[in-house]
Amino acid sequence: MVFANFAGMKRMNMKKYMILTAAALLLAGASASAQTRQFKLGQWVEIQNAILGELSRSYVDTLPVSRMQLAGIDAMLEELDPYTVYVPEEEQEDFEMMIGKTYGGIGAVIYKPDKDGNVLINEPYAGSPAVKAGLQSGDQLLEIDGVSTHGLDASQCSERMKGKPGTVVHFKVQKVHTGEIVGIDVTRERIHLPDIEYHGMLNESDGYILQTGFTENVSNELRNAYNDLKKQGMKRLVLDLRGNGGGLMAEAINIVSLFVPKGSLVVSQRGRDDADYREYKTVREPIDTEIPIIVLVDGGSASSSEIVTGALQDLDRATVMGKRTYGKGLVQTIRPLPYNGQLKVTTSKYYTPSGRCVQAIDYSRRDEDGSVAFIPDSLTHEFKTLHGRTVRDGGGITPDVELKGTSYSRLVYSLVVGGVIDHYALDYVARHASIPAVKDFHFTDFEDFVRFAKDQEFDYRSSAMAYYDQMKKELEKDGMAENAAPQLEALKKVIDLDKEQFLRARKDEIIPFIEEELAVRYYFQEAGIQVRLRYDEPLKQALTQPMITY
């Protein structure tokens, strides 16, 4: 009967029937797929509950339920991507600090060199409650609210110093320069670490803004910084997003809207289903659509940094300079969970105005060992900017102008990561009440640093010596070390410098780090950035490069 009716239909009706039949089959397949997925989820939950129930009844020891719960959740989410994470109630404050750069406290970085020793004020923030109360770098905290700091680690001391804004914390303090022991009350405030860490004029015409995050209201902070620089005569803007790991997408859109015409597409968002597609366009009038803009990026520029960079590049509104960005094209959303937990879950991918996704790793495709890989350049695609320039997807934002980065020796990494320069700065502060103004300050007593550093424990081997040690181990494994002993000894004499020799050999490389740390201790974080700019070779390169013009 069906075939008979089908044969008697007109050609158009036959076509419609085929389309409807195909659609029905697709829907049926989609429905079956959804049912299969739901069945597997239900099956998994049932098995998990059965295992936990059996463990609860039969396991020989007391179950560490809380630890098992967190471990199970973390292991499950690790199969997805590194950005989908569970945040239990007890970690909410740290989570808020991570995404909002805010906390209730006194506004100072502390240093605890010894669990049985005192706490040192390492870096107080400008205008913070700590500074208002008279605390300064190098001051030692003997007690916090009547509790000795001896026996407490740094995190325990930090927790006692944090608290609800408006509450008071009492310190027993030994002052750094006088040695006097005094009591100091500090009223806690809501501390917000600014995303616009610095802005200023680099010369008569180039304005500079350093942005380190994308938390709430940073677009207004940037607007204010821009207006201030314009008043100082800025003719070209350098927006430094190097090392900026991103944050709120809404703030990225707001920042782009400052420099492009109203109604411009900034970013689009695509989830698992077609219904999840969204476009985000600028809705505000810009403040300047003409000023030349340099955007500085590197491998640490990610997420919202790449949205801003990609949009300004695709719209041919800025010249991007530096190194290829990180390649995070995934969008996360915060979802509430039972018992005051939260799930930060990847819900979509974002695309720049030209249509490219900058995601560098495909987490949905894993090797048998569970590892993931970067998308190879051979599988990337070409896209066109507003004025027809070619750009590519799949691996971050490639700058319009590649800049030579600054490389550091193994020794400098060891001095910084090991805290040797940091500790020296505190020692220096204890012996010097002041230093010249930042613009006039240059560290000249390098031998003083050498005397301090030679007594510190850190890995002072050169890269060559580290490779030598590894090579020697491999030769020993292969049974070849004895035969190569004369050659090895001769090579070691050439490359094995003692600690003081190597420190002096790297003097010019080390001094900028010392100057920056000292400037921060005496004149706060902005001063440290001013010193850093003094030695910023990629920035100096950028200022001499030709801009893209139309």
Per DSSP, which regions of 385-445 are E strands? 390-392, 401-402
The catalytically annotated residue of 172, 328, 344, 422 is 328
124 CB burial (10 A radius; 0-12, 13-18, 19+): buried
Could you give phi then psi for residue 308, rounded to 5 degrees? -65, -50
Active site residue 328: yes
Angle at the Cα of 484 from the Cα atoms of 483 and 485, rounded to 5 degrees: 95
Distance CA 111, CA 520 (A): 15
- Indicate the DSSP class of residue 214: B
The catalytically annotated residue of 303, 304, 348, 354 is 303
Q: CB neighbours of 479 closer than 8 A, spacing ≥ 6?
A: none
The catalytically annotated residue of 139, 314, 400, 422 is 314
> How far does CA 321 lie from the centroid of its chain?
19
Active site residue 314: yes
How many CB atoms within 10 Å of residue 368?
Answer: 5
**H/E segment holding residue 239:** strand 236-240
Active site residue 33: no
Distance CA 330, CA 315 (A): 21
Per DSSP, which regions of 242-290 are E strands? 265-270, 278-281
Distance CA 430, CA 453 (A): 16
Distance CA 86, CA 100 (A): 17
Query: Which residue numbers are catalytic?
Result: 303, 314, 328
